[in-house]
Chains A and B, each alone.
Chain A
């Protein structure tokens, strides 16, 4: 019974917390340009994410270490320093994107520029972490995030051709705009396989002192949670395909997408879209700022906890303060949040093999996992998706930069 509750709460949190700047932005563009043709990227990414989160939960339950602590210990600081640096850079870019996304949602609602909203948003992110602590707000943000289910309702009401939707899950060759197609595929993979979720998930498992008795719950929560969560992303693609693709609208800023829900919800379309964007991005921003602190604290052996008061771990609090302060700058400077998001997602894909790859090696080490080392399926699945994503990125980035439309 208690386990059932745990799994349900985990699934709800995954659904409510699934959408953020990256997943909304990439899904809107994919649907508008290629209808359902990129759904496979969401599916591949989700499978990979579920596998690596399951791994990090299993690692925490058996070795009592978070991913970061175990990495430093297993590979030593001379290797881990690169992971730490890379993860910090990626987190800062994605954090900047989420702050931008939240600010842009407020611009859609109020008409006041996101450049003006950026600072209040960053202060709110920092203030919630400083005063309220994440443990307290985590579930409320995720519950508010259930507003994103309006995309699922909307997709259903638009009566798409479900056969065509299903065919999108098989990778195919685009008829045109190959460079754009590849680039979007990479961005979707980056948006789906978020390395910060892995740190986060394993930290939660350590804080809740998981044991081997939690392994079944771990499997269910990661498997079902992310699958259900990805439905929201898929729904965004379906809606964008129905609303934008027939008219040939290209979504190159969140502004273009503001009225995507209007055909279903009428005058409630814009507020629902903006609320989904704002809450999704805010939730992710909180996690990302905290993730920078987690990475440093767990690597360097500081006390850390999502319920930590700033006074009890000053360095932990100073790190997320600094991260938020840096990440607000691009939005204040007026860099378009969607462009920043796309860049951050592609950057994530380049970082993935270095940040997540070593986790696969660690998961095969009996010193840490005892008899619970990876089976061949998870080894192959994760390695394959990471390798494919990285190679796609190697091809897609030059193609995109050369302006191949």
Chain B
């Protein structure tokens, strides 16, 4: 059986979606406390609020309107130098939302963005 140290092997690693696109990093790891039994590792979170919460709560409050995505551990495919997750970020509700907004509202209006 292979073991994994959450902080050493998972936290702060970069995430790739199923198309090989980088979609952020493991900003937080979420554990679930059930009524019975020990806590289980449930998900990872990606997004500015999750990341900033680790630096300072006030920063997280300022960023609370920004998207944060919870990815269940079951979607994790491979944990190597980077972490692969089984999602399609381009068509995801919250992943890459800032990226897509900037592309559609700023970059598109500047000449030569597409080439």
Contact = CB atoms under 8 A, between A and B. Distances in A.
Q: Is chain B's binding surface mostly helix, strand, loop or mixed?
A: mixed
Interface residues of B, number: 31
A131 B55 contact: no
A58 interface: no
A294 to B, nearest CB: 13
Nearest to A73: B12
A314 interface: yes
B102 A314 contact: yes
Interface in A37-79: 63-65, 69, 72-73, 76-78
B54 interface: yes
A309 B115 CA distance: 8
A252 interface: no
Contacts of A403: none
Given A72-B25, A77-B54, A77-B55, A302 B99 contact: yes
B12 A302 contact: no
B102 A131 contact: no
A310 B12 contact: no
Contact of B98 (A65, A77, A78, A315): A315
Nearest to B115: A309
B106 A64 contact: no
Nearest to A81: B55
A313 B98 CA distance: 11
B110 interface: yes
Contacts of B98: 315
A310 B51 CA distance: 25
Contacts of A80: 12
User: Which residue, A130, A299, A304, A310, has most C-beta atoms of chain B within 10 A?
Assistant: A310
B107 A317 contact: yes
A367 B80 CA distance: 12
Contacts of B23: 301
Given A64-B81, A310-B113, A311-B113, A76 B11 contact: yes
Contacts of B11: 76
Given A73-B12, A314-B107, A315-B98, A65 B112 contact: no
A77 B12 contact: yes
Interface of A: 63-65, 69, 72-73, 76-78, 80-81, 130-131, 299-304, 309-311, 313-315, 317-318, 367
Interface of B: 7-8, 11-15, 21-25, 27, 46, 51, 54-55, 81, 98-100, 102-103, 106-108, 110, 112-115
